[in-house]
Amino acid sequence: MDNWTFGLTLMFVGMGGTMTALAFLAILMDLLKRVFPVKEEQKE
Amino acid sequence: MIEAIINGLSGLGAGLAHMHWSNPVMMAIGCLLLYLGIKKDVEPMLLVPIGFGAVLVNIPLADLMGEEGFLRTIYNMGVTNELFPLLIFIGIGAMTDFGPLLENPKIFLLGAAGQFGIFLTIGLALAFGFDKLDAVAIGIIGACDGPTAIYVTSKYAPHLLGAVSVAAYSYMSLVPVIQPPIMKFLTTEKERAIDMNATNTDNKPVSKEARIIFPIVVTVVGGLIAPQGVPLLATIMLGNLMRECGVVNRLYKASENEIANVVTLLLGISIGATMEGQAFLKGQTLLILAFGFVAICLDTVCGVLFGKLMNLVTGGKINPLIGAAGISAYPMAARVVQREGQKYNKFNFLLMHAVGANTGGQVGSVMAAAIMLSVLKGMGIIP
């Protein structure tokens, strides 16, 4: 594989993959907060 | 008898006779690192052992990195097998409070944008003729994350370890100097003055259960997406799980203190040991230092531009400055954002939002490295 193909592939898949993975984790974290909301005693 | 004394004396000062010109230069560089660490307080925990290691390894005939040298023993003990950076990650996980990030999970995206510099710099290094794996090691400086840079470099381009590590830690400490001009150039005064405490009223507090489950979810999901990065993800998340679960306080405290301190010492001196004059003093090293600088600038540019995009999408709720904190230099980048924000609105407290982006940057840098390694494996570049 030549350097250009390698660089461009890594750039697109790397940036896209990182963004997608963290977006997915952000959604999961939001869900997690809904499933396990703060209880009254924790608020106190 | 006299002949024996003369022969004996000839052994003294032999180091001086075998001195190559590069050795005193590197000793001076080692002393410069010591000066920066001791006098200027620039990452002293690392620059002091690195600087001292650089001085030691350039003493001729001491053979400290030879087969049985003590620096080689330390190097083989934890750098060759990537153990030291991973142990440090446990400590980092134990030190990090992901609460601000969990309160506002969309900030996670800034932690992704802040890693774009890694991939852009890899392209740049390739354009300058670097070998594929060397380019990867250079690009990873943009993670702004010492242990990640050391992990990747020691595994795939060990001959660049000294230059990459020094660049990574030096630029991390220079974040307060590098970032503000870029932040100012890319944002308007009105954007810099946005008070996120007034605009973001939907931040929800996080339960203890969510805090405990977070590291487990990140490890499993991240591991399934990018299996090559499991060691990085798992160690930082193990440290955080120990912090949040509240039942292994001794382990958590040992991870963030004793273990992290001992390993930092051993890692630092091992990195210094790779800075042997004839191997280090090359034009390539200067290029690596230059690319490292470019990588961190690109991270900041991408982070701030993504912050502007989020500002647009959310109808002006996000202060784009916090995008600059989407890197792994924790908590320095968050402090820079707070300071810059207050210059334009003295009642503006961006710190907690910036800390959220900053911890997102920590997960982001590890995730980016994990994805990069998995893509490299998929392409057949690494075994």
- Predicted pLDDT at B29: 93
What's the confidence (pLDDT) of residue A44? 55
Question: What are the residue ranges of helices labelled H in B96-229?
Answer: 99-103, 108-113, 116-127, 132-139, 146-156, 161-173, 175-186, 189-192, 196-199, 208-225
Closest CA to A19 of B351, B360, B256: B360
Mutation to test the A interface, candidates B207, B228, B301, most A Cβ within 10 Å: B207
Q: What is the pLDDT along chain B (383 residues), one digit of tens a residue?
A: 788 888 887 777 777 888 899 999 999 999 999 999 999 888 888 889 999 999 999 999 888 998 889 999 999 999 888 899 999 999 999 999 999 999 989 999 999 999 999 999 999 999 999 999 999 999 999 988 889 999 999 989 999 998 898 888 888 878 888 999 999 999 999 999 998 877 665 667 899 999 999 999 999 999 999 998 899 999 999 999 999 999 999 999 999 999 999 999 999 999 899 899 988 888 888 899 999 999 999 999 999 999 999 999 998 889 999 999 999 888 889 999 999 999 998 888 899 999 999 999 999 999 999 999 999 999 888 88
| pLDDT score of A43 | 58
Predicted pLDDT of residue B232 = 92
Compute the nearest-CA separation of A5 from chain B (Å). 10
Q: Which residue of B has its CA nearest to A18?
A: B368
B16: phi then psi, degrees, rounded to nearest 5: -65, -40
Token pair 């109808």 is found at B315
- Answer positive or negative: Cα dihedral of B314, B315, B316, B317: negative
Yes or no, beta carbons of A25 and B206 under 8 Å apart? no
Across the interface, do A14 and B372 touch by the CB < 8 Å criterion? yes
Q: Closest approach of chain A CAs to the CA of B183, in angstroms?
A: 21
Contact A33 B207 (CB under 8 A): yes
DSSP string, B20-59: -THHHHHHHHHHHHHHHHHTS-SSHHHHHHHHHHHHHHTS
- Residue A7 CA: distances (Å) to CA of B85, B118, B119, B145, B225: 26, 11, 8, 22, 21
Assess A16–B contact: CB distance below 8 Å, yes or no.
no
Q: Are B241 and B215 in contact (CB under 8 A)?
A: yes
Q: Do A6 and B115 touch (CB under 8 A)?
A: no
Tell me if A6 and B126 make a contact (CB, 8 A cut-off): yes
Q: How far apart are CA B137 and CA B123, in angstroms?
A: 12
Residues of chain A with Cβ-Cβ distance to B119 below 8 Å are 10-11, 14-15
Phi-psi region of B63 (alpha: psi -120 to 50; beta: other; left: phi over 0): left
Alpha helices in A1-44 (DSSP H): 3-35, 40-43
Query: What ipTM is given for this predicted complex?
Result: 0.91
Q: How far apart are CA B356 and CA A26, in angstroms?
A: 12
User: To the nearest whole angstrom, how far is the Cα of A40 from the nearest Cα of chain B?
Assistant: 10
CB contact under 8 A, A22 and B118: no
Q: Are B328 and B364 in contact (CB under 8 A)?
A: yes
Contact A32 B221 (CB under 8 A): no
A26 and chain B: CB distance < 8 Å anywhere?
A: yes
Q: Rounded distance, CA B22 to CA B145, Å? A: 29
Closest CA to B33 of B46, B22, B20, B23: B46
Given an 8 Å threshold on Cβ–Cβ distance, is A22 in contact with B367?
Answer: yes
Between chains, do A17 and B371 touch, taking CB under 8 Å as contact? Answer: yes
> What's the confidence (pLDDT) of residue B199?
66
Q: What is the enclosing helix (H) or strand (E) of B277?
A: helix B277-280
Tell me if B348 sits within 8 A of B380, measured CB to CB: no
Tokens of B361: 């940057």
User: Which residue of B lies nearest to A6 if distances are taken between CA atoms?
Assistant: B132
> Nearest to residue B275, comparing CAs of B262, B289, B264, B261?
B289
CB pairs under 8 A between A and B: 125
Element (H, E) at B92: helix B83-95
